Amino acid sequence: MKGAIIFRLSCIVLLWLFFCGWLLVRYAQTGTPINLRTLFPLVASGIIVFVPLYKKYFKKSSGK
């Protein structure tokens, strides 16, 4: 992998982790319990963000 691709992927991962952490901290500050209703959007956003990146950069395609 090229250095630019690694840099872009690391920026996306760090930004996603920041927003997930921010969301969890906001829930903790308000006293709202962290349950499935809280965790589902985090997991769903991770799938939406990282599955296309995996398919583009890491999956070995037999046709190419």
pTM of the model: 0.79
Q: Is the pLDDT of residue 34 over 90?
A: no
2 — pLDDT class (breaks 50, 70, 90)? confident
Question: In the prediction, which pLDDT does 47 show?
Answer: 95
Q: Return the structure tokens found at 55.
A: 């398919």
Q: Return the structure tokens found at 63.
A: 């046709």
- The CA–CA distances, whole Å, from 28 to 12, 33, 35, 38 equal 24, 7, 12, 11
